[in-house]
Copies of this chain bind each other. A is one copy, B any other.
Amino acid sequence: MSLKNDRFLKALLRQDVDVTPVWMMRQAGRYLPEYRNTRKQAGDFMKLCQTPELACEVTLQPLQRYAFDAAILFSDILTIPDAMGQGLYFAEGEGPKFRKVIRSAADVERLPDINIASELSYVTDAVSLIRKELNGSIPLIGFSGSPWTLATYMIEGGGSKDFRIAKQFMYDNPEAMHLLLEKLASAVIDYLNAQIKAGAQAVQIFDTWGGILTAQGYQEFSLAYMKKIIASLHTENEGRQVPVIVFTKNGGQWLESIADAGCHAVGLDWTTDIGVARHRIGERVALQGNMDPTMLYASPKAIRKEVESILKSFGKGNGHVFNLGHGITPEVSPENVAVFVEAVHEFSSQYHD
């Protein structure tokens, strides 16, 4: 099926586009009143993820308001450990939690070998449904958490301030940690390939917590497994390339090695100057990012100025997908998002021939 707007896919492959494409991490989310309504009706966050019709509904909501150049599947990064039987739940106002935690090599060994793709058919069903509803307007992004990021939650039993338990496990039981990451990498491969088969036209690996590691730890415990995943993805489907984006929050010091991991694009958080990043790795991969998400609390004037400044820093030519440097936060006003999206399209045309 042909795409009416394929800017996003083209930019990821560093091909010519008319304006810089833009989407936002967490664009289907709590800052939108219509999302909060659907979420309320669903009753429970997991119900929202597990009901393809509802996941599809919230995925499409931001597209009614804004001229985003891509949709992203609405789901949670922790579906894989949940499918492995760890018992994911969301305590009100507390973020994700697991009923079971991994604290020993035996716990890792006990993790069941399951058919991730069939266990997570609610995700692939959502992908198919969203593709149908998008009807060729813009491409759909699938995603997964990175093995390291999934492991931190599974070991800690939820989020953490310093990930002390996960790191202690890594430092004291590196073999068990590697076994866990190995199992998770296999699951992520099956999961992303199933999303691609169901219709995801690009995939992003969210390495939310890779940036809490040492430089050496990052290579060994996070990047190595993402590399392995990328090498096993079916990155051609429907006669088109399926680009892979790697986003390591706080990974700005390691861009060269991320760019060498086999991905098509590297996501940047807002602490990296995108012009510097382009100079470092932009001839090898596309770059995605990177406005400070808290910028969306500022005035429209300040937002427009910042968009201009990021576009200017990247400069002329292709290979840039505009995004925030991390997910949009719940208290942002939807009006400011409109200012942001419009500014990207308005100011970027001068940077493309």
A-to-B contact residues, CB < 8 Å: 162-164, 167-168, 171-172, 211-218, 250, 252-253, 270-273, 276, 292-295, 297-299, 302, 306, 309, 329, 331
Q: Which of chain B's residues have a CB closer than 8 A to the CB of A331?
A: 164
Known: A164-B297, A297-B164, A298-B171. A309 touches B252 (CB 8 A): no
Tell me if A215 and B271 are in contact (CB < 8 A).
yes
CB distance from A49 to the nearest CB of B (A): 24
Bound complex: CA A218 to CA B214 (Å): 22
Q: Which of chain B's residues have a CB closer than 8 A to the CB of A302?
A: 171-172
Tell me if A292 and B329 are in contact (CB < 8 A).
no
- Tell me the dominant secondary structure on chain A's binding face: helix
27 A-B pairs, CB-CB below 8 angstroms?
A: A164-B294, A164-B329, A164-B331, A167-B294, A167-B295, A167-B298, A168-B294, A168-B297, A171-B294, A171-B295, A171-B297, A171-B298, A171-B299, A171-B302, A172-B299, A172-B302, A212-B271, A213-B271, A214-B271, A214-B273, A215-B276, A216-B273, A217-B292, A250-B250, A252-B253, A253-B271, A253-B272
Q: Which of chain B's residues have a CB closer than 8 A to the CB of A216?
A: 273, 309
Bound complex: CA A272 to CA B292 (Å): 22
Bound complex: CA A241 to CA B214 (Å): 33
Bound complex: CA A246 to CA B253 (Å): 19
Chain B's closest residue to A290 (CB) is B214
Bound complex: CA A169 to CA B174 (Å): 44
Tell me if B309 and A270 are in contact (CB < 8 A).
no
Chain B's closest residue to A309 (CB) is B216
Q: Which of chain B's residues have a CB closer than 8 A to the CB of A218?
A: 271
CB distance from A281 to the nearest CB of B (A): 13
Known: A250-B250, A299-B172. A273 touches B167 (CB 8 A): no
